[in-house]
Amino acid sequence: MSVRVQKTFEALFALEDLRGILRGSLPTGLDEEEEKAFREKISDLKSIIAELEEDRGTPRTTMIADTLPIRSREENYINIQPIQAAGRLTTEARKALISYGDGYSTCDACRKPFRLDKITKPSIAGFHADLAKFVNMDQARVVPGARRGFQAVASTLVSKGDPVIVSALAHYTEFLAVEEAGGVVKEVPLDAGNRVTADATAEKIEEVIRESGRTPALVMIDHYDYQFANEHDVRGIAKVAHQYDIPFLYNGAYTVGVMPVDGKAIGADFVVGSGHKSMASVAPSGVLATTDEWASKVLRTTAMVGDVTNRKFGIKEVEMLGCTLMGGTLLSMMASFPAVKERTLHWDEEVKKSNYFIDALLSIEGSKVLSEYPRKHTLTKVDTTGSFDTVARTHKRRGFYFSDELAERGIVGEFAGATRTWKLNTYGLSWKQVRYLAEAFQEIAAKYDLPITT
């Protein structure tokens, strides 16, 4: 870890120790002993900051709670891990988390009717309205991950044995949500370019009806899938689904928060997004948005009445199980939201950087892109069997030589040891970082005499 990064963490931790002293004191102020501890900690802090400023000093702390190493991969490295890129917190989210980390921190001003999305201090109610608008749907709720959005919809719409149409590239959480609701997934086959088309979806629906005698309860398709991040024709698929009167769930785990998403233009009945994957938020977090029509079903309020007490919890929503993200998860979403909204407007630039890197990789002879190309996304599946893997075959570290070379250049996030097919994500890297990344790959190729096309 660089000294500056180490010292930045140490200074943050020293301040948390100070906070601990403040928390243990009376509202009237510190007593003599606390004052002494406070002074000592300030003195420590000043000496840490001197080290930070002068870029010197050995580590004072390496573990949190004696067991957890400090995680500094975002500060010390360029991280190309496929699922982490767009979930990195913004600086404002990190500040919000410092302030709102405590358990039920959202609940200070919870008043009747006692539901998370009705709280106005902080402006959680306003955030929910903004979220719905952001994806152009009527209503939105925050959920503990996109998977919990799939679950809420499947649990509402899918009965035992019901078929549900998903993509042959569907994420495993879609499988599980359908299984948990008692349904059965039916996959739409891919075309030659590994894409799901409207026609193939129509054919699959016909086939399912013909073979099972049941109309699918739901069509659930990823706009960009998790394997190739290829774009699938969600607009055409929504249209097809509606021709059969089947509701359409738009899986935006790889889109909501990184590119503009217009749920109504797509024809989505449900839009699901992921906070920790694409909205710069703490896990588990996500969004489920829907139309007013479907809200009355998926966001139905409880009808259960206590048989002895006659208790009713009228405004609580069954599928949400009441409140969902009662603290730091939600506040990180809210604090990142202005930046997230803004960044979706610059998606084109992110795609340009993605293609810039991929072109550099392709210049290393034998490298291939398994995703559609040119790229329309920052997540890409590549095949370096014909380039970097040729070295791995005889290297004593096998595929790990490649990880070693990347790490030496301050790059992490590749699947350690993998040199054949693997995924990476350039999202959020600056041009300077992307250029550095591209050069690093070419440098490694050159070092091992892999030919580069210029």
By beta-carbon proximity to a copy of itself, the closer residue of 192 and 303 is: 303
Residue 92 touches a copy of itself, criterion: CB under 8 A:
yes
**Nearest-approach distance from CB 366 to a copy of itself, in angstroms:** 26
**The only residue of 37, 83, 209, 370 in contact with a copy of itself, by rule CB under 8 A:** 83
- C-alpha 95/C-alpha 80 separation (Å) is 24
**The only residue of 32, 58, 67, 453 in contact with a copy of itself, by rule CB under 8 A:** 67
Residue 280 touches a copy of itself, criterion: CB under 8 A:
yes
- Give Cα separations from 297 to 136, 153, 269, 318 (angstroms): 19, 9, 12, 10
**Nearest-approach distance from CB 265 to a copy of itself, in angstroms:** 27
**The only residue of 59, 62, 102, 214 in contact with a copy of itself, by rule CB under 8 A:** 102
Total binding residues toward a copy of itself, as defined by CB under 8 A: 137
Binding residues among 6-35 for a copy of itself as defined by CB under 8 A? 8-9, 11-13, 15-20, 22-24, 26-29, 31
Q: Which two tokens stand for residue 337?
A: 């939201």
Residue 81 touches a copy of itself, criterion: CB under 8 A:
yes
Residue with tokens 């929504």, as numbered in its chain: 238
**Nearest-approach distance from CB 65 to a copy of itself, in angstroms:** 4
Binding residues among 353-412 for a copy of itself as defined by CB under 8 A? 409-412
Residue 284 touches a copy of itself, criterion: CB under 8 A:
yes
Which residues 6+ apart lie within 8 Å of 403 measured at CB?
414, 416, 417
- C-alpha 132/C-alpha 282 separation (Å) is 20
Residue 334 touches a copy of itself, criterion: CB under 8 A:
yes
Residue 37 touches a copy of itself, criterion: CB under 8 A:
no
3-state secondary structure of 440: helix
Residue with tokens 């890129």, as numbered in its chain: 85
**The only residue of 119, 131, 158, 188 in contact with a copy of itself, by rule CB under 8 A:** 188
Residue 76 touches a copy of itself, criterion: CB under 8 A:
yes
Main-chain dihedrals φ then ψ at residue 128, nearest 5 degrees: -65, -40
**The only residue of 128, 141, 232, 276 in contact with a copy of itself, by rule CB under 8 A:** 276
Residue 254 touches a copy of itself, criterion: CB under 8 A:
no
The answer to whether the peptide bond before residue 163 is cis (omega within 30 degrees of 0) is no
* Residue 381 CB neighbours (<10 A): 20
- Give Cα separations from 81 to 85, 103, 404, 416 (angstroms): 6, 29, 15, 10
**Nearest-approach distance from CB 108 to a copy of itself, in angstroms:** 6
By beta-carbon proximity to a copy of itself, the closer residue of 89 and 132 is: 89
**The only residue of 37, 44, 47, 70 in contact with a copy of itself, by rule CB under 8 A:** 70
**Nearest-approach distance from CB 293 to a copy of itself, in angstroms:** 21
Say if CB 3 and CB 56 are below 8 A apart. Answer: yes
Residue 192 touches a copy of itself, criterion: CB under 8 A:
no
**The only residue of 234, 325, 361, 424 in contact with a copy of itself, by rule CB under 8 A:** 325
Binding residues among 148-187 for a copy of itself as defined by CB under 8 A? 148, 150-151, 155, 168, 170, 172-173, 175-180, 184-187
DSSP 77-145: SEE--TTTGGGSPPHHHHHHHHHH-STTGGGTT--TT--GGG-TTTTHHHHHHHHHHHTT-SEEEEESS
Stretch that binds a copy of itself, among 40-48, 213-221, 352-360, 395-403 (CB under 8 A): 40-48
Which residue, 325, 284, 313, 287, is CA-closest to 116?
A: 325
**Nearest-approach distance from CB 29 to a copy of itself, in angstroms:** 8
Q: What share of the chain is helix, strand, coil (3-state, %, to 5)?
A: 45, 15, 40
Residue 324 touches a copy of itself, criterion: CB under 8 A:
yes
Residue 213 touches a copy of itself, criterion: CB under 8 A:
no
- Residue 284, burial from CB neighbour count under 10 angstroms (0-12, 13-18, 19+): middle
By DSSP bridging, strand 68-69 and strand 63-64 are: antiparallel
